[in-house]
């Protein structure tokens, strides 16, 4: 076990780092029992849990689909199929209110036959025939999975076909008889982040040990992979080296295995489609005598670029209030999803022979809601799906073809609570350094600003991930209808204003996420929406780290805190599960000069016995092999030893989502809400 810097006191809870040890699991079960007894036994809790499960299992939910060959595929869970069905239908059927579905794989039946707790991880199907797929299945929801070859025509696994044992696999088709495989090939084949370091080409009918090495990365890299783009007429092979979470290198793999690097900045995102290459630089980039802003979207002809030409077309350039959220190709067009103050607008761009790209609006979202569009089959046509959703607006799914009229409504999601009683508003708080931080507030229309409203404030604040308006029947039932106010804080570290918003809170600037979150809390209090004893905070994963820091740095602002599947011990995080993959986000605690700033946002380090903290709940999963359960275990144990009011629950299944099916999800969600209700509002 790697040693930690000597300036840190003795860690009395290091023993909890053995994830599957009997003593450790017994400890977790004992702590679980205490939490269940206190918060999950009342009739009110049972009603809360049942209401959430009804939403998750509802047959009226929109079955979102993905086109694979001639069929539209959907993965579906409900009360009769808790592990799920992978099923398909035709577009004609899908247009009907109650489509006829054909089951392709019944995960519940498969799990029973295999005596495994399988969790669906998806399927990669070989184009253009789309007959063979690589199906990924996880034991209990971990990131690691097993891979099996599957035949879509016979709907059976291929006897003697490609199979891979459990690992954090990166696998993809080259052709019907060859795979690109990055997996655990044995000692020395994995990176310090616990992902594959070596990618090989594997021929059908030969043992995995005979696969030919394509590329080897360094132990300190995050991962490597290879893949083929099988777009007819544009077949190309690529090798990717993920240096860290934000930097990568990509090579075009030629005949004979030659590698030609695609010469773009390591921190940029690239998308190669047919003759085009799109580039999104994360930093300002000067090339070909021009400088392009961070967060721009640039286009070039791929073959010309590889030949040395640097003629780039700016398809999108950000400003102080706009950022590119996503883009999607159809056969002849590019759809851009742009955010303006975290609200979407869509634009269609069309390349013109010898001229500038044509630009047309595809519409904007209704006030304070989210609109998104994506191509259905980029190789065949210009059809697209469009979704519209808001905090109080259930999702509507549309279908259309670019240039052929208004979108047609395909499916409407039901409402799971009476939205007419509530209003959505957007506000801006001012952070410690003067930065305007947006936040959404969902509250009763007749809200009284008397400081007594139970308010739940949520945020993520990391990895350039944006939190946009979306409908949640669970939040509506478990929080709004119970009398609460719900708040989403769009703090720095996220991607709401593009790369700059994210980079403003990286590494030594990490405390800005906490300052932004605190600024929103203070604004809610100043506006009379709530008060500290009625204000709860919740976040998961990186947002769970944020919650740990709000507990230790701003305890005076909150009546209770819920931290889910969180990083918390930031001195040990690089040696726990996949933690080393996030050094680019947080820094390297094994470097003394970096630990000096990391320790300022390490909740485990900063928890003190003589402080006054609000009650805190830490939830996690034994099968979480991304963050791992160790952080929550140790944080809870330390706070308890110091005499603080702390609770803990570790689901023995579930992976990083902390739940492997809808029933577990409903319990975990209800537990968090019930905990907050008991401490900041009416008991649940």
d(CA 549, CA 431): 16
State pLDDT tens for residues 424-456.
999 999 999 999 999 999 999 999 999 999 999
Q: What pLDDT does residue 659 have?
A: 85
Full-model pTM: 0.95
Q: What pLDDT does residue 2 have?
A: 37
Q: What pLDDT does residue 7 have?
A: 46
Q: What is the DSSP string of 612-630?
A: ----EEEEEETT--SS-SH
Q: What pLDDT does residue 8 have?
A: 53
Q: Is 278 helix (H, G, I), strand (E, B) or coil?
A: strand
Domain 14-53+424-680: top CATH class = alpha beta
Element housing 425 (H / E): strand 422-430
State pLDDT tens for residues 319-365.
999 999 999 999 999 999 999 999 889 999 999 987 899 999 987 66
> What torsion do the CA atoms of 110, 114, 118, 123 make, to the nearest 10 degrees?
-60
Directed axis angle between helix 22-39 and helix 630-641, to 10°? Answer: 70
State pLDDT tens for residues 384-397.
999 999 999 999 99
Largest CA distance in the chain: 73
For residue 296, report the phi and psi dihedrals to the nearest 5 degrees.
-75, 165
Provide the pLDDT confidence category of residue 10 given band limits of 50, 70 and 90: confident
Mean pLDDT along residues 497-506 = 97
Q: What pLDDT does residue 367 have?
A: 81
Strand partners, 345: 338, 364
For residue 524, report the phi and psi dihedrals to the nearest 5 degrees.
-60, -40
Provide the pLDDT confidence category of residue 405 given band limits of 50, 70 and 90: confident
Q: CA torsion sign, 456 to 461 to 463 to 464? A: positive
* Residues 657 and 142 sit within 8 Å (Cβ to Cβ): no
Question: Mind telling me the catalytic residues?
Answer: 541, 656
> What torsion do the CA atoms of 16, 17, 22, 24 make, to the nearest 10 degrees?
20
More confident residue, 129 or 6: 129
**pLDDT of 192 higher than 50:** yes
Mean pLDDT along residues 582-600 = 98
Mean pLDDT along residues 497-515 = 98
**pLDDT of 150 higher than 50:** yes
* Residues 421 and 391 sit within 8 Å (Cβ to Cβ): no
Mean pLDDT along residues 207-220 = 97
State pLDDT tens for residues 613-641.
999 999 999 999 999 999 999 999 999 99
- Of the candidates 395, 394, 524, 526, the residue with the CA atom closest to the CA atom of residue 459: 524
Tokens of 108: 């519940």
State pLDDT tens for residues 35-52.
999 999 999 999 999 999
Tokens of 420: 């007419």
* Residues 611 and 580 sit within 8 Å (Cβ to Cβ): no
d(CA 3, CA 625): 21
Percent of the chain residues past pLDDT 70, beyond the cut: 98
Percent of the chain residues past pLDDT 90, beyond the cut: 94
Q: What pLDDT does residue 1 have?
A: 34
Q: What pLDDT does residue 353 have?
A: 85
* Residues 532 and 556 sit within 8 Å (Cβ to Cβ): yes
d(CA 150, CA 653): 26
Q: What pLDDT does residue 682 have?
A: 64
d(CA 417, CA 473): 7
d(CA 513, CA 464): 12
d(CA 528, CA 519): 14
**pLDDT of 6 higher than 60:** no
What are the distances in angstroms from CA 470 to CA 342, 369, 473? 12, 7, 10
Mean pLDDT along residues 307-311 = 96
**pLDDT of 137 higher than 70:** yes
Average pLDDT, the chain: 95
Tokens of 585: 């986000």
* Residues 524 and 427 sit within 8 Å (Cβ to Cβ): no
d(CA 335, CA 662): 33
Q: Is 340 helix (H, G, I), strand (E, B) or coil?
A: strand
What are the distances in angstroms from CA 487 to CA 56, 210, 430, 490, 537? 22, 55, 16, 10, 9
Compute the 3-state secondary structure of the chain and give helix, strand, coil in percent, each to the nearest 5: 25, 35, 40
Mean pLDDT along residues 233-258 = 96
First to last CA, the chain: 43
Tokens of 458: 């949520």
d(CA 224, CA 215): 8
**pLDDT of 5 higher than 70:** no
Mean pLDDT along residues 187-216 = 97
Mean pLDDT along residues 399-420 = 94
Hey, where are the domains in the chain? 14-53+424-680, 318-415
d(CA 148, CA 166): 11
- The 8-class DSSP code of residue 676 comes to H
Q: Is 596 helix (H, G, I), strand (E, B) or coil?
A: helix
Instruction: Name 288's Cβ contacts closer than 8 Å, sequence gap at least 6.
Output: 310, 311, 312
**Chain CA centroid to CA 517, Å:** 20
């Amino acid at each position: 076990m790697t040693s930690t810097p000597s300036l840190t006191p003795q860690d009395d809870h290091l023993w909890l780092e053995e994830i599957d040890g009997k003593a450790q699991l017994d400890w977790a079960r004992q702590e679980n029992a205490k939490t269940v007894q206190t918060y999950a036994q009342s009739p009110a809790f049972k009603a809360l849990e049942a209401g959430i499960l009804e939403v998750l299992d509802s047959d009226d939910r929109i079955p979102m689909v993905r086109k694979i060959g001639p069929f539209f595929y959907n993965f579906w869970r409900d009360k009769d199929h808790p592990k799920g069905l992978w099923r398909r239908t035709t577009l004609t059927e899908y247009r009907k209110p109650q489509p006829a579905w054909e089951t392709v794989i019944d995960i519940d039946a498969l799990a029973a036959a295999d005596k495994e707790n399988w969790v669906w991880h998806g399927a990669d199907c070989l184009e253009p025939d789309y007959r063979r797929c690589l199906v990924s299945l996880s034991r209990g929801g971990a990131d690691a999975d097993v891979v099996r070859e599957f035949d879509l025509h016979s709907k059976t696994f291929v006897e003697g076909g490609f199979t891979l044992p459990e690992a954090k696999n990166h696998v993809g088709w080259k052709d019907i008889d060859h795979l690109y495989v990055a997996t655990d090939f044995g000692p020395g084949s994995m990176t310090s982040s616990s992902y594959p370091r070596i990618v090989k080409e594997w021929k059908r009918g030969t043992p995995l040990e005979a696969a030919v090495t394509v590329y080897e990365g360094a132990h300190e890299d995050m991962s490597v992979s290879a893949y083929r783009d099988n777009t007819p007429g544009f077949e190309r092979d690529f090798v990717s080296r993920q240096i860290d979470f934000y930097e990568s290198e990509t090579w075009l793999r030629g005949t004979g295995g030659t590698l030609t690097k695609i010469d773009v900045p390591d921190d940029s995102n690239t998308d190669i489609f047919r003759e085009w290459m799109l580039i999104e630089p994360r930093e300002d980039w000067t090339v070909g005598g021009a400088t392009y802003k961070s967060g721009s979207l640039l286009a070039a002809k791929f073959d010309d670029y590889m030949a040395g030409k640097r003629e780039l077309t700016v398809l999108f350039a950000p400003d102080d209030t706009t950022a590119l959220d996503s883009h999607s190709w159809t056969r002849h067009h590019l759809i851009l999803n742009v955010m303006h103050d975290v609200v979407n607008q869509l634009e269609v761009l069309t390349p013109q022979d010898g001229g500038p790209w044509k630009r047309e609006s595809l519409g904007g979202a209704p006030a304070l809601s989210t609109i998104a569009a994506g191509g259905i089959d980029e190789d065949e046509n210009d059809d697209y799906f469009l979704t519209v959703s808001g905090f109080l607006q259930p999702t509507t799914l549309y279908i259309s073809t670019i240039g052929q009229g208004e979108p047609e409504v395909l499916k409407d999601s039901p409402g799971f609570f009476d939205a007419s009683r509530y209003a959505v508003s957007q506000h801006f708080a001012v952070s410690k350094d003067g930065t305007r931080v947006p936040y959404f507030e969902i509250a009763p229309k007749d809200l009284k600003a008397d400081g007594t409203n139970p308010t739940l404030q949520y945020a993520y604040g990391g990895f350039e991930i944006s939190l946009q308006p979306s409908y949640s029947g669970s939040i509506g039932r478990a929080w709004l209808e119970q009398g609460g106010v719900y708040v989403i804080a769009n703090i720095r570290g996220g991607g709401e204003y593009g790369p700059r918003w994210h980079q403003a809170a990286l590494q030594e600037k990490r405390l800005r996420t906490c300052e932004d979150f605190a600024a929103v809390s203070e604004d809610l209090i100043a506006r009379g929406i709530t008060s500290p004893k009625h204000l709860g905070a919740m976040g998961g994963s990186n947002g769970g780290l944020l919650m740990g820091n709000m507990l230790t740095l701003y305890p005076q602002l909150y009546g209770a805190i819920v931290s889910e599947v969180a990083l918390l011990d930031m001195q040990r995080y690089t040696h726990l599960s996949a933690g080393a993959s996030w050094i680019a986000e947080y820094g390297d605690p094994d470097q003394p000069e970096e630990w000096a700033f990391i320790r300022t946002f390490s909740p485990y380090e900063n928890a003190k016995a003589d402080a006054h903290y609000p009650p805190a709940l830490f939830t996690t999963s034994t099968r979480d092999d991304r963050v791992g359960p160790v952080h929550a275990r140790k944080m809870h144990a330390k706070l308890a030893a110091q005499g603080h009011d702390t609770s803990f629950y570790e689901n023995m299944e579930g992976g990083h989502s902390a739940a492997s099916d809808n029933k577990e999800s409903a319990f975990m969600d209800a537990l968090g809400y019930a905990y907050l209700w008991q401490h900041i509002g009416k008991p649940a």
